Amino acid sequence: MVTPLKSFSHSYPVLGGAYYLAGRAASDAKRRLGEQQAPAGFARRVAIATYEAEMNICIHAISGEVVIVMEGERVEVVANDRGPGIADIALAMTSGYSTASDKARAMGFGAGLGFANMQRCADRFHIRSRIGAGTNVKMTFLPRPEDEEGGAPCS
């Protein structure tokens, strides 16, 4: 990262089932990072993982929020939802496993790659869940050498 990021913190509400609105946090993060000349690969990793987190709340939960914090050279994204929770986190992390509704799938979501994608885009990934209460995902993004090239998003 060439220059430190301007300190920023914001919470974006996400509503279950509101597919039309999901993605606002990701778009805003990408725009802010772009304006500050953050490397394209870095902005893309943050945007992709944030969008996946928003979509998860939209698909599975009643409601929730995505909080984005930018400070120094790092970005933190926290997603909290009020929803059914995840019974078996290891199973949910498996690529291809999904409990998404037919509606979500008809819209092109719910292929069971969300957590895998968040994990590979983020530099730290932490998930906690309580059945009947909700799920909490915390991701930290730090600069990677390959971000500068703007090449592969998060390979």
Partner 1 sequence: MRVSDIAAVLGAEMLAGRSGLIRDVPSAGGCDIISDLLFFGKPGMLLLTGLTQLSVVRTAHLLDLSGIVFVRGKRPDEGAIELAESLGLPLLVSPLSLYDCCGRLYARGLPGVIPGAPHLPAECA
Pick from 3, 90, 102, 155 the residue near partner 1 by CB under 8 A.
155
Residues 4-33 close enough to bind partner 1 by CB under 8 A: 19-20, 22-23, 26-27, 30
Residue 127 within binding range of partner 1, rule CB under 8 A: no
Reported as half-sphere exposure (CB side, CA atoms, 13 A), residue 22 has a value of 26
Write down the least CB distance from residue 27 to partner 1, Å.
Answer: 6
Segment lying near partner 1 (by CB under 8 A), choices 65-73, 82-90, 134-142, 146-154: 146-154
Pick from 14, 38, 47, 70 the residue near partner 1 by CB under 8 A.
47
Q: Which amino acid is at 124?
A: R
How many residues touch partner 1 under the rule CB under 8 A: the total is: 30
Separation of alpha carbons 112 and 95, rounded Å: 6
Write down the least CB distance from residue 148 to partner 1, Å.
Answer: 13
Separation of alpha carbons 58 and 44, rounded Å: 21
Burial class, 3, CB count within 10 angstroms (exposed 0-12 / middle 13-18 / buried 19+): exposed
Residues 49-108 close enough to bind partner 1 by CB under 8 A: 51-52, 95-96, 107-108
Contact positions toward partner 1, by CB under 8 A? Answer: 19-20, 22-23, 26-27, 30, 40, 44, 47-48, 51-52, 95-96, 107-114, 116-117, 150-153, 155
